[in-house]
Amino acid sequence: MRSTTLSVLTKTGIHSRPADLFVRTAKLYQSAITVRKNGACADAKNIIKMILLNVCQGQEIEIQADGPDEEAALEDLQRLVESDFTLVNDQVRL
């Protein structure tokens, strides 16, 4: 299992559009992926649970991945968060 902690810098936090991009990216991987914020935990492949985390700008999240492609999953999700939810693998995801 691997994890990384990131600050969400997007003005709107992880609302519906960023959550959708995050979930779609997480679903590309076999690994189980969870996101934690202040003790709350959400399945990164579930759009409702991601939105209900209510992540706002400036808050930290911990992303945990456990499985055969955990390293690649964390790299892509970190890149997505750091790009303000616009880039993954140097491609814009719409």
Residue 25 falls in which region: left (phi positive, over 0), alpha (psi -120 to 50) or beta: alpha
Active-site position among 4, 6, 15, 72: 15
Nearest Cα residue to 15 out of 54, 42, 59, 63? 54
Judge whether 15 counts as a catalytic residue.
Answer: yes
Structure tokens at 6: 């990131």
Give me the active site residues, please: 15
